[in-house]
A and B are shown apart, each in its own frame.
Chain A
């Protein structure tokens, strides 16, 4: 049981490290949003699952935290991406712009 817990904790730490490294090394803002949010979501899940294996009586609070992170983190990353797009500070090397034909009528959302 402790071995499984330590494996999950080390996996979570490695994913948090990769998230920070992606934030530091990726070339533009949208890549940074992807790297940071995806890697840290999996890292937080993995560390919390490792804690649940180490202390099985704490599982209720850990389930609450996991559900809240699974809901809130993609919403936050989507809000940042939309705000970055709307702030007209997008990188100049986009190959596809799917938001361009959404139109002005959704602009007040």
Chain B
């Protein structure tokens, strides 16, 4: 369907913008923030794949990915908190 292609194009541009910020982000916390947003957009992409392929199991993948993304955000936040300058 054309609507699916439109939604995938919007999600792809969102992924592209977060990747640009991840590459050129001036401080470490900018990179962590862009990684968090990247994970959320990937959750949207996998949900759309569940709809396109008409398969229920992709939503299980979404649940596991959401849990791993949350843990990753918390761990990187603790790491940023430990580094006192944060300029890397």
Interface residues of A (CB under 8 A from B): 6, 9-10, 12-14, 16-17, 19-21, 23-24, 29, 32-33, 36-37, 40-41, 43-44, 47-48, 51, 54-55, 58, 61-62, 64-65, 68-69, 72-73, 75-77, 79-80, 82-84, 86-89
Contacts and interface: CB of A to CB of B under 8 A. Distances in A.
Range of interface residues on chain B?
Answer: 35 or more
B70 A72 contact: yes
Contacts of B40: 16, 19, 36, 40-41, 43-44, 69, 73
Contacts of B47: 44, 47-48, 51, 65
B10 to A, nearest CB: 3
B59 A61 contact: yes
Contacts of A37: 36-37
B14 A65 contact: no
Interface string B8-47: 1111011111101100000111101110110011011001
Nearest to B70: A72
Contact of A6 (B3, B76, B83): B3
Contacts of B36: 36-37, 76-77, 80
Interface of B: 3-4, 6-11, 13-18, 20-21, 27-30, 32-34, 36-37, 40-41, 43-44, 47-48, 50-51, 54, 56, 59-60, 62-63, 66-67, 70, 73-74, 76-78, 80-81, 83-87
Contacts of B67: 68, 72
Q: Report, nearest first, the 7 A-B pairs whose CB atoms are least far apart.
A: A20-B14, A13-B10, A20-B17, A87-B86, A40-B40, A83-B81, A36-B37
A40 B41 CA distance: 7
